[in-house]
Every structure is written in C-alpha cells, then in structure tokens.
Structure 1
Amino acid sequence: MSDLKYLSGFGSEFSSEDPRCPNSLPKGQNSPQICPYGLYAEQLSGSAFTAPRSDNKRSWLYRILPSVGHKPFQSFSEGNFDSKWQETKPNPNQLRWNPFDLPSETRDFVQGIYTICGTGDPKLRLGLAIHIYSCNTSMKNRAFYNSDGDFLIVPQQGKLLVKTEFGKLQVSPNEICVIQQGMRFQVLVSEACRGYILEVYGRHFSLPDLGPIGANGLANPRDFQSPVAHFEDIQGEFEIVSKYQGSLFVCSQDHSPFDVVAWHGNYVPYKYDLANFMVVNSVSFDHCDPSIFTVLTCQSEKPGTAIADFVIFPPRWSVQENTFRPPYYHRNCMSEFMGLISGRYEAKQGGFLPGGATLHSIMTPHGPDVDCFEKASKEELKPARIAEGSQGFMFESCLGLALTEWGAKTCKKLDAGYHKCWEGLRRNFTGAK
C-alpha cells in the first residue's frame, strides 16, 4: 500500500510527513520555538523518561491542535471490557469455545470488544487480557485509545482499516497490527468482522532473541510496516473513548484527533503479514517447542519467561524422523490460549473451528485428539507439507488466566463436550502385567 512504509529496523527511529505539507518535519531539533505551518509539537512517551536508551520509547507529533483540547471525561456505557477476574471461580479444565457470534445489531469496534479472560491489574501495570471483537459498522466521529497497555489485533474475518494519529493501516486476516499504549485510533469496516485481541499491561512487544538460530529466521524486522503520515483537518464533534484502569470513559472535542501532519520517533503503530514468517523446523527426534514459532514477545523480569508470547502455526514443510509428528501430550507452567484464523489445526481433526478458541491453563494436560494420534502414529515420516490453507496461533503467558463472566457463561460458546476428544485413547501397553 502506498500509505505504508517498511520499518528498516524494529525499535529504530522513524519519521514521516504528509506530502501535502513538505518540510513540515522540523530539521535539527525536536521541538522548535515555532513549528512549520503553525503546528503544535506534542510528545507521546511509551516508556519512563529515564529508561535505558535501548528501551526508551517516544515519538514527536506535529499536529494542527494538541490533544489536550477536549472536554472532561465521563463514564462510557457502551463497552464490554472486564477485569473482574476475582469474581469468577477458577476452572482448571480444558476449555474450548465454538466460533464467537458475528453481531446481529449495529456495532462498531469499541462496542464489539468482549473480554474472555485475563489476569493481573492494569493499575499495577502488570498482567494481560484476551478479548474478541465482533463488529459490522465503522467508528463514526469516534476515536479510541488504551491507557492501560498495548493491543495486538488478530483479524479472523473481514478487513480493518485502522486510522491512527500516525497514518492508516489496512489489516486483513493473516495479518496483525499492534496499537501501542496511548495511541488514538479508529477502525473502519465495510463488512462484518471478527478477530482476537491480546492486551498487555505496562510493557511492549518486541522481537524474540534468536539465540542459536543466528541472525536470520522467524519474523524479520524489515517485514514490519508503519503508517505514512496522513492528516485530516476536520472541525466538528468527535468522541474520544479512553480505556483507563479497566473501565471506559468518553470525552468530546471540536476537531478530528487525526490531525498529525508529521512525526518522528521509535514509538509507532505497526502491522505484519504472517505469510512473511520464516519457519525453522527439521526434527531428528523428540519435538521442537512451539517457541520456535514466536512472532512477538513481551518479556517479564525473569529472563526467557514471557508475560505474553504471540506464536503462530503456519503452513510449512515438516521434516521429521524417529519421532511423533504432531505436538506431544503436554503439561506446561504457562497458560496457552489458542485461536484459529483459517483452516484446521494440525493437532485436532475436528471441533476446533475458525473464529473459536481454546484455553489450556497452567499444568492442565492437553495434546492431539484420538483421530490425530491414530493417524500420526501410522504415517510415513517423510517430509510433508502441513497446515496448508490453515493459520492457527497461540497467546502464551507465564501468568495464570481467569475467565470473565462473559467468557464462562454469557457468550454461551463454551463446548461442554471438549474433553470427549481424548476419551477414545486406548491402552496400547504391551509390557508384562
């Protein structure tokens, strides 16, 4: 797209200006006494001012009016966010949701977000939440921003045009976009849309270290894209919806919030096409952990332990010998929430459908269903193309996840018979009694 630019290095400094206002980006200093074109300079900080240079996140925005020009915030009643984890009883069972409903009434992106599960506290800036969105109309004269954390948005059905202060992002199924904390955006749609959202509090996503893989592989920095500056100079009533400490608030202002003419910095929204992921996988024995498919990570204070990983299971050649090809039966000290964008997941022969989800909580056993086990136990272990036409993903976390009332009951999508997919596993033991 002409309104996108490739990031030359993930986390590096970027800049852009709307071509309708050449030389609108100040040269030689961040905040001049008088900005070109009579613009206002405004800094958006995504980290503490004194964070180490390698972790410091900020961007300078040069806009027609500063974002401070709005009326007081009031409570906003149209949203469905939830962080009342303590009000539902823990549930250690394997959980599966059938595809979440598309809207039957007119609903925009903000109105169509529902929280499935989460943990932690946005006030303490530690934790995460997992939501689905289901919408069928564009946000009109309304913008949204998240004071609590970052959104990683995974479309499953329908294209999103995401208008941000930095410019526009067109995001389709099999692509993702990240809107970082505090960035104002608007979602425009032309059809019914559905997808998943991973929200992390207090930290930002980054590329995982490659370790012994070396310099190349997984998601390459050059494949991430950020918007080109594109402003609108529109006067009129606009709503600004803020998610703050888990609740929604709204204020009004008399101009569009998308009036940024130029910007520079290293704190930007971005998108990524999952088809560009470079898979690494050749197995002589045992099985590679799913971490080998990590696209983005949000690390905790403990090295190598993620508050959240975004992992995908893309179409690929699977080269195996002396092992069992599908994922093995497993208990994990991490929470694993899975969604399916398209096709069929390789470890389930049925029941797990696009637009649905599963949750396998900390130390809850899970693995291939009966049919998958029987088929994989007998197949010839030659190189095979797997997951063709399919795209599954996982949100993995070191934190324990708790269901919301909506995720546990209200949505009415929990599959009460999920456990039955393992009931047919037979005793194959041939040893002495």
Structure 2
Amino acid sequence: MSQYKYQSGFGSHFSSEDERCPNSLPVGQNSPQQCPYGLYAEQLSGSAFTAPRTENVRTWLYRKLPSAVHKPFKRYEGSKYLSQNWDEQPPNPNQMRWKPFDIPAKEQETITFVDGFHTVCGAGDARARHGLAIHIYLCNTSMDNSAFYNSDGDLLIVPQQGVLDITTELGRMTVSPNEICVIPQGIRFAVKIDSLSRGYILEVYDGHFCLPDLGPIGANGLANPRDFETPVAWFDDTAGKEYQVISKFQGSLFVATQNHSIFDVVAWHGNYVPYKYDLSKFMVINSVSFDHCDPSIFTVLTCPSLRPGTAIADFVIFPPRWSVQEHTFRPPYYHRNCMSEFMGLILGRYEAKEDDFAPGGGTLHSIMTPHGPDVKCFEGASNAKLKPERIADGTQAFMFESSLSLAVTKWGEHTCQKLDAQYYECWQALKSNFKI
C-alpha cells in the first residue's frame, strides 16, 4: 500500500499529475486549444457555476478520453437492498439496536462493494436534493473492470472490518478501520478488498461535507485540515477490456459499458476531490471542571442545512480520551433530542452500553425517543471515585446525527434479522431513588 501517495489539507486547491507524464498539466489555461500529450480537458463541477467563491468547488481533469464515451445506461439489478422507499414500513418510534450485520461467505454469493449496499434508514428525496440515507456495506469480492459513481450526493464511508483499496478518477487510496473517506457526488471509484469487509455509509443529498466552525474553541481543535489526505494523479494503462460504469441516479442503479479504462486521468487540479482521514488524529476538546460538553464537541464533519447551526447530517466520534470532570455524572446523560441519532461501533466497547452493543452493529434513537446509559453504566458511574481517568481506550464509536426524522427500511427492520427486540430491557431495572 505504500505506493499510494497523498496531499494534505481540507478544502485546498490541489494540482497533481502522474509522474509518468511530466508537464501534463496545462500552464495558465484550464482548457487550451490542445492539451499536453493529446489529452482531453473535462471539468467536474460539484457546485453551481455561480455559487459564492467560498462554496464553489470544481476540478479540471486531463484524461485520455472524455467520460461521455460510453454506451447507453440500462437498469442494474445487482444491489437487492439499496432503497429510497421511506414508506415501505410503518413509522416506529422505539429505540432500536442491531446486532452485527452478517457478511455473506463468498461460497454462498459473490458480492462487491456496490452490490453490498444495504439501506437501513433515511429521509428525503434525492430528486429534490434534500435528505440522507444510512447504509451498511457487506462485501466479499473486489470490483473488477467496473466503477461506481453517485449522482445523488456525497458518500462518507466508515470501514469497520477489512481494508478498502479504493481507486478514484483522481488517484488511489487505502482506507482501514478507524479511518474514513469521503467520495463526493459524481466522482467515479472502484473498491478492491483482500478479506470479508463490512462498514457504514452516510449519504447526503443536500450539499457537501465540510469542517464545523470552531467558535470559542479558536483556531485549533477537533479535526485539523492538515490531517485530511487526498490522492495524487494516477492512471490505469491497460487497454482492450470492457468496463462497466455503474451509476446511482434518483435512488436507482444503472450500468453502461465502455471499451476504455474509467481511470484514465493523467493530471488534474481543483478543490473537488475525494479524501481520507485517520480518526486517531482527532483533537478531543473536553471539560476539566464539572458537567460535560454536548456531543457536538466531537463533530468531525458536517453537512449543513439552510438553518444556521442545524445539520442535515453530522459525523461525530467518541474517541479515547481523558475524563476529568468533578462532581459530575460522567457518561452521556439521559436524553431526548430533536435530532435523529444512528450510532455505530468500529471497535471496542462503548462506555455507555458495554453489553450487547458490538462492533459491526448499530443503534437508532429517533427524534424525541428517550435514551441514555443502561443500568450497569448508571450504577457504576453514580458510585465511581471521581478522579482523572482514561476512557474508551481501544474503542471507536461514532454517530450519524440528523435534523431529519429517519424512516427504517424493510431490510433494516425485518429482512436483516439483526434487530434486537430486547433492547428496551437495558433500562427496565432502573429504579426510583427518590427520598423525602
């Protein structure tokens, strides 16, 4: 994996050319009359042309053939559990917890990253460019001579088991558990694996992920821009094969064929790029006095809505850290929220629910559905000696949080057969300690 090269920085304007073709980037002109090496110039726009400069994102690609050179798209039936039908199940406000989702053995059925999309819940409409979907990916086979792109929005990918070897139009990157990557809308990519792979995907329709504002925190903290990495230019030099281009468009999948490599970009420059981030580099901000900050203090990335301070989706983590507060119930407080909260566990044991919440599973606490520490956690934290201590070592839990009310799919509630019907029992032994 060491041959993969990266540039650092979030939101930067990058330029890159494959080292096999020096001076392949035009100088001072995006679309010259004739590009170096006989390449074609193609712009990939991730925002409206007239978007404000601070929000305007696009990248110029210099490739062997334009991406328009392909046969017509036809319906693709490979993914059985990808859904945008939020009405297929009656609403369910109950707390939900899923046991780890099963990865099919290769001997049973070969499933690629794209075929392994399983939609758990979501809201909104990709056609209206508003909403999100949460998926689990379960795959046992690499994508071969094919690539995928999402016309509906950005994909934030959180591997939980297995390393993802991702080739994008702009270059290659490896993403391991405890790392994440974001593939922006429209960028084509392929995923290879060397073992059974499982993870989580947050898809947003409205806009793009960005870093949260820091406010009183100041200039430094949380996820620092310099720790994000984007690949450098690399092109596939093979020829004479047929390739599949799979597109997710308005919630459905389509496929087209072409007789040249999808990954033929020799050089590029711009600020619309795929990127990865190592979650261990997150700079935790926490209380050193009493009480504790709201979980928003752990936000890595956000996709803002049109309402200030309110997100279509936040990606929040609960990493290893020191717990220092005095005269305080330190675990997460009992809570009802105007946001939807989907939690996943990459590794370890989550401090608020150490039993029965396992890596590769999930929980969903819907809008205004109460939740909080289980009996064991409450009793232990209420009587613990309050001294500085490390918590969550060897653990990485995360949350997809949204202002939208999420509907669970039929696969999520029934077909996967992983929904834990006894989840509610973890609070039933809590007793009244009220005294006069």
Pairs within 5 Å for 1:6-155: 6-8=7-9, 10-79=10-79, 80-104=81-105, 105-155=109-159
- Give runs of aligned pairs for residues 119-268 of structure 1, distance below 5 A: 119-235=123-239, 236-268=241-273
Aligned length: 430
> SS of the counterpart of 2:180?
strand
Aligned partners of 1:6 and 1:353: how far apart in 2? Answer: 34
Shift of 1:283: 4.1
Q: Which amino acid aligns with 2:322?
A: W
CA displacement, residues 308-337 of structure 1 (integer Å, 9 cap, x when unaligned): 000000011111112100000000000000
Q: Which runs of 4+ in 1 moved over 6 A?
A: none
Please tell me whether the aligned partners of residues 286 and 292 of structure 2 are also in contact (alpha carbons under 8 angstroms).
Answer: no
> What is the rounded CA distance, in whole Å, between the counterparts of 1:388 and 1:167 in structure 2?
33
SS class of match (2:131): strand
**Structure 2 residue aligned with 1:321:** 326
Alignment gaps of 5+ in structure 1: none
Paired residues of 1:6 and 1:222 also in contact (CA < 8 A): no
- Residues 194, 355 of structure 1: 8 Å contact kept: yes
Q: Secondary structure at the match of 2:254?
A: strand
TM-score, normalisation: structure 1? 0.98
Q: Are 1:375 and 2:353 matched, yes or no?
A: no
Q: 1:262-293 deviations in whole A, cap 9, x for unaligned?
A: 00000000000000000011242222100000
Q: Does 1:358 align with 2:363?
A: yes
Structure 2 distance, partners of 1:33, 1:89, is 58
Hey, what's the Cα distance between the residues in 2 that align with 1:318 and 1:15? 42
| Contact 1:6-1:223 within 8 A present in 2 as well | no
Does 2:347 align with 1:346? no
Check if 1:398 corresponds to 2:403.
yes
Q: CA deviation at 1:2?
A: 4.6
Residues 332-357 of structure 1: CA distance to partner in whole angstroms, max 9, x if unpaired?
00000000000000101201000000
**Distance in 2, Cα, partners of 1:287 & 1:429:** 24
Residues 95 and 424, structure 2, Cα contact 8 Å, conserved in 1: yes
RMSD, aligned CA: 0.8
Task: Write the letter of the residue equivalent to 1:341.
Answer: I
Aligned counterpart in structure 1 of residue 278 of structure 2, from 273, 276, 293: 273
Amino acid at match of 1:184: R
Q: Counterparts of 1:107 and 1:5 in 2: how far apart (Å)?
A: 29
| Residue of structure 1 equivalent to 2:417 | 412
Does the aligned pair in 1 maintain the 2:150–2:248 contact within 8 Å? yes
Whether 2:427 is the aligned partner of 1:422: answer: yes
CA distance in 2, matches of 1:377, 1:222: 40
Unaligned 5+ segments in structure 2 are none
1:64·1:233 contact (CA, 8 Å) conserved in 2?
A: no
CA contact (8 A) 1:146 1:183 kept: yes
Task: Provide the C-alpha distance between the structure 1 equivalents of 2:430 and 2:206, rounded to a whole number of angstroms.
Answer: 43
- CA displacement at 1:170 relative to structure 2: 0.3
2:409 partner letter: T
C-alpha separation in 1, matches of 2:395 and 2:423:
21
- Between 179-188 and 280-289, report the one with greater CA deviation: 280-289
Residues 4 and 225, structure 1, Cα contact 8 Å, conserved in 2: no
Determine what percentage of the aligned residue pairs are the same residue.
71
Residues 290-299 or 280-289, more deviating = 280-289
